Structure 1
Amino acid sequence: MNLRRLLPRSRAKGEPISTVGLLVRFTAAGLIVLLSLAALIAFIARQAGTAQASESARQVAFVTARGVVEPRLNGFVLAGEPAALSGFDKAMRDLVLQGSLVRVKLWNADGKIVYSDEPRLIGATFPLGAAEAEALRIQGSSESEVSDLSRPENRFEIPYRKLLEVYVGVHGPNNEPLLFEAYFQYQAVTQAGQTAWKRFAPPSLGALLVLELVQIPFAWSLARRVQRQQRERERLLQHAVDASDAERRRIAGELHDGVVQELTGLNYALDAMRLGSPDEGQRAELIADSASRLRGSIGSLRSLLVDIYPPNLAEEGLASALAELAAGLERTGVEVQLETDGAEHLPPAVAALLFRAAQEIVRNVASHSGAREVLIKAERLDGRARLVVDDDGRGFDETRLGERNSSGHLGLRSIGDLLAQSGGMLTVRAAPGQGTRVEVEVPVA
């Protein structure tokens, strides 16, 4: 697999995530939600205000019908006596027709208008609607609706354009059922809705706006964190790519310079024996030398196999895997002291991480240290797994470790990144001529 294909295209093109862009998108989304909520609050507030105004109109009509109209009803008013109607009309104009209440009508059960402040309607008969008949039948109840100005009895209300009708059932002097009808200007109802919206909308929208402003710093911080995490992921992936390339080159170099050269030399020696006429002593010596070189090549291949495909740590354990590494190092002539008594029963993830670190450290020891003796120690202490690799080699200057990493020594840097991601740590102590000690610690869940 080509790991470079895994690198994000945006980063490959030099286009990292923009913190400002993320913040702008977050703010735009917040403003869209804010405007949507503002529209919803306006609609609900106006609806509530309109409903409250309509209820107030019903209450005014009910109080007017029971407190002003019903006490002044008598037989002369119902009979249409001019003097009685004149007195009743004066009371209506003085006490009832005020503010948004602009028209009143009094009906009997036959649909006849007994009284209206519009004198041309008095005595006229019209069919009662369903709402009017219901209010007339159930005394004391009230109903309201938007006035239908196309009906004949409402032709004189057309100049008002839109009215709210309220019906209230009342009783005549002989307990005769009558219907009192009051007309309110609908503009007053809508103005009440607008007033309610103006009263409740500013604090509600102000609170939402403050919430939006408070969230912006958090959004900025979150966007910066996302950007940092993206850079960190891409850095780790780039390290993995570089480490993979370096590992391929190392394996190819070891195969070419080691096993391939050994087998090539062995092939030449066997061909020479086949073409020549060696005596029994020479043949035995050549066979013994060939067997020794084959064993060395097999050991080298086993070490490479361990590097390419590590043993199953879950089944064989970390101790067995470290023993394989130690054996490969011993085949290079290094004396290895292996201590793994405290490394049993580690979680597979922790064991795999320690083994990966041990691989890289042992590889560096074999390639660069020139050590004669090496200590490999694995143990578990106080909830943490610990690996120590201590050699008596040539060492190096710790202050130049960063230069070594930047010049292509990517192994330990990649291991350090992996350990940091897992909550662990890697410590390197070295000095020229005094060997190198590498310690790895990983938390055990």
Structure 2
Amino acid sequence: MASTAGLVARFTAAGVIVLLALAALIGLTAREAGIEQATEAAGQVAWVTARGVIEPRLDGAVIAGDPAALTAFDAAMRQYVLQGSLVRIKLWDTDGRVIYSDEPRLQGGVYPLDAVEMEALRQQRTASAVSDLTMPENRYETQHGKLLEVYVGVRAVTGQPLLFESYFRYDAVNEAGRAVWRRFAPVALGALLVLQLVQIPLAASLARRVRRQQRERETLLRHAVDASDAERRRIAGELHDGVVQQLTGITYALDAARLGRPDEARRAEVITQAATDLRAGVGALRSLLVDIYPPNLAEEGLASALAELASGLERTGIRVRLNTNGAADLPPVTAGLLFRAAQEALRNVAQHSDAGQVEITVVERDGQARLTVDDDGRGFDSERIGRPAEGGHFGLRALSDLIAGARGRLIVRSAPGAGTRVEAEVPMS
């Protein structure tokens, strides 16, 4: 059986593994969120630049490629646009011709526009994508490494639709993702760590409870095994000292009558005594059968089972008063526990009490079923039940553990010369 420390250690290890997995997931999610925010921010910068700086300067001379107009446009771009992480800009027409670029070698070149670029141009919208540096139009950007392309549809002063393309360093996007991670990671990881630390005492408490329940189950199992052994020894002793002795005595009496040639009166006396002894033996065997194989409480009910026990006790000469009005419709488990309690109590009455009368009562009240067995016998010191070192009353101790396991209780009240009262109370649920 695992120790409490071992259970807590395993729980903590599992919690640490989950914590690390969640930390990695949070980190990845935060980084992706940061990259997404950075991409949106780049798109907003490109849109503001396109509307505020690019469009007002797109006159017919720039579109026609006039050298003086392009020189002035390039000066404005380098002064107002090419800053920070923005490293390249291009201006395209609908035919894929580069009208302007801060890289002069690209100006005038024609390169096919893909579907995303054409959509941004026609719909005058913003779009973005990671730059493919293997494309011919991007051959002069390879020294910058990974880039983020942002496309914005613009219109010239003449109304002609054009495409403004800006290239941002992807390192800035990654840095934005890391910044978001650094902002939220301490809070998230701190909360997870606090949760883990709070759970450790709860896990320790749960582990101690599990250990306690395991010990209780082991104790109940030992009591059940001991009770079973004691029950077998009791049945064997009753058979040997009771029915076997009776049958042996009947055999001797019949043999003596057969060999001695008695008269008719003596023969009738022997036969009558043998019949009486046989009936007593049959009654004792029936009582043992009830002990070995109790009646089916689910079918016959607790009242019938208690009546059978009472009849067996009455055959020993003890008067029994039976009140089982509260025994109807009890759950099988509840009825079984009350029957075992009655069985043990009546067995002690028959063997130890010298009682003349016993009263058996079953009542149901407030969700509890209660069995009471009250005799007028010689009684005993009830405090001896709780002292295992002393002999006797083992059956009552085992029964008390069994009922306690079902959230019930067994109460024994007795004193020398004052009779004995056994109360078993079991929940209905």
Same fold by TM-score greater than 0.5 = yes
Q: In structure 2, what is the equivalent of residue 3 of structure 1? A: none
Q: Secondary structure of 1:440's match? A: strand
Q: In structure 1, what is the equivalent of residue 245 of structure 2? A: 261
RMSD of aligned residue pairs (Cα, Å)? 2.3
Q: Deviations over 1:359-416 (max 9, x none)?
A: 11121122223x1423223042644444333334443323322235764642111221
2:20 maps to 1:49: no
TM-score by length of 2: 0.91
Q: In structure 2, what is the equivalent of residue 284 of structure 1? A: 268
* d(CA) in 1 for partners of 2:331, 2:364: 17
Work out which of the residue numbers 123, 129, 150 in structure 1 matches 2:114. Answer: 129
Q: Secondary structure of 1:358's match? A: helix
Work out which of the residue numbers 290, 294, 319 in structure 2 matches 1:336. Answer: 319
Q: In structure 2, what is the equivalent of residue 120 of structure 1? A: 105
Q: Secondary structure of 1:184's match? A: strand
Write the mapping of 1:172-251 to structure 2, written as runs, cut at 5 A: 172-251=156-235
Q: Give 1:318 deviation, angstroms.
A: 4.0
Q: Give 1:79 deviation, angstroms.
A: 3.3
Contact map agreement 2:153 2:161 (CA 8 A) in 1: yes
Q: Give 1:348 deviation, angstroms.
A: 4.8
**Structure 2 unmatched runs, 5+:** none
Distance 1:415 1:60, change over 3 A: same
Q: Deviations over 1:92-135 (max 9, x none)?
A: 11100000111111223333322221222223333333333333
Which amino acid counterpart does residue 376 of structure 1 have in structure 2? E
Contact map agreement 2:90 2:166 (CA 8 A) in 1: yes
Contact map agreement 2:372 2:424 (CA 8 A) in 1: yes
Write the mapping of 1:346-365 to structure 2, written as runs, cut at 5 A: 347-349=330-332, 350-365=334-349
* d(CA) in 2 for partners of 1:179, 1:254: 108
Contact map agreement 1:376 1:387 (CA 8 A) in 2: no
Aligned residues: 427
2:363 maps to 1:380: yes
TM-score by length of 1: 0.88
When structure 1 is superposed on structure 2, of 78-87 and 384-393 the one drifting more is: 384-393
Q: In structure 1, what is the equivalent of residue 410 of structure 2? A: 426
* d(CA) in 1 for partners of 2:312, 2:112: 111
* d(CA) in 2 for partners of 1:57, 1:346: 77
Contact map agreement 2:384 2:390 (CA 8 A) in 1: no
Q: In structure 2, what is the equivalent of residue 413 of structure 1? A: 397
Distance 1:122 1:385, change over 3 A: closer
Contact map agreement 2:19 2:192 (CA 8 A) in 1: yes
Contact map agreement 1:428 1:437 (CA 8 A) in 2: yes
Which amino acid counterpart does residue 44 of structure 1 have in structure 2? T
* d(CA) in 2 for partners of 1:199, 1:158: 32
When structure 1 is superposed on structure 2, of 25-34 and 252-261 the one drifting more is: 25-34
Distance 1:319 1:176, change over 3 A: closer
Q: Secondary structure of 2:134's match? A: coil
Contact map agreement 1:239 1:410 (CA 8 A) in 2: no
Distance 1:330 1:122, change over 3 A: closer
Write the mapping of 1:100-115 to structure 2, written as runs, cut at 5 A: 100-115=85-100
Write the mapping of 1:9-158 to structure 2, written as runs, cut at 5 A: 16-138=1-123, 140-158=124-142
When structure 1 is superposed on structure 2, of 91-100 and 22-31 the one drifting more is: 22-31
* d(CA) in 2 for partners of 1:165, 1:386: 83
Distance 1:412 1:88, change over 3 A: same
* d(CA) in 1 for partners of 2:128, 2:377: 101
Which amino acid counterpart does residue 319 of structure 2 have in structure 1? V
Contact map agreement 1:318 1:343 (CA 8 A) in 2: no
Q: Secondary structure of 1:156's match? A: coil
* d(CA) in 1 for partners of 2:24, 2:267: 100
Give the fraction of aligned pairs with identical amino acids, expressed as a percent.
65
Q: Secondary structure of 2:371's match? A: strand
Contact map agreement 2:303 2:328 (CA 8 A) in 1: no
Work out which of the residue numbers 347, 350, 367 in structure 2 matches 1:366. Answer: 350
Contact map agreement 1:428 1:439 (CA 8 A) in 2: yes
Which amino acid counterpart does residue 421 of structure 1 have in structure 2? G
Q: Secondary structure of 2:108's match? A: coil
Q: Deviations over 1:221-266 (max 9, x none)?
A: 1221111112112211221111111111111111111101111121
2:283 maps to 1:273: no
Contact map agreement 1:313 1:348 (CA 8 A) in 2: no
Which amino acid counterpart does residue 274 of structure 1 have in structure 2? R
* d(CA) in 1 for partners of 2:348, 2:83: 101
* d(CA) in 1 for partners of 2:113, 2:26: 39
Q: In structure 2, what is the equivalent of residue 13 of structure 1? A: none
* d(CA) in 2 for partners of 1:430, 1:316: 32
Contact map agreement 1:387 1:440 (CA 8 A) in 2: yes
2:404 maps to 1:391: no
When structure 1 is superposed on structure 2, of 380-389 and 209-218 the one drifting more is: 380-389
* d(CA) in 2 for partners of 1:124, 1:322: 107
Q: Give 1:62 deviation, angstroms.
A: 1.6
Q: Deviations over 1:23-69 (max 9, x none)?
A: 22222222222222222222222112111111111121121112111
Q: Give 1:314 deviation, angstroms.
A: 5.0
Contact map agreement 2:126 2:150 (CA 8 A) in 1: yes
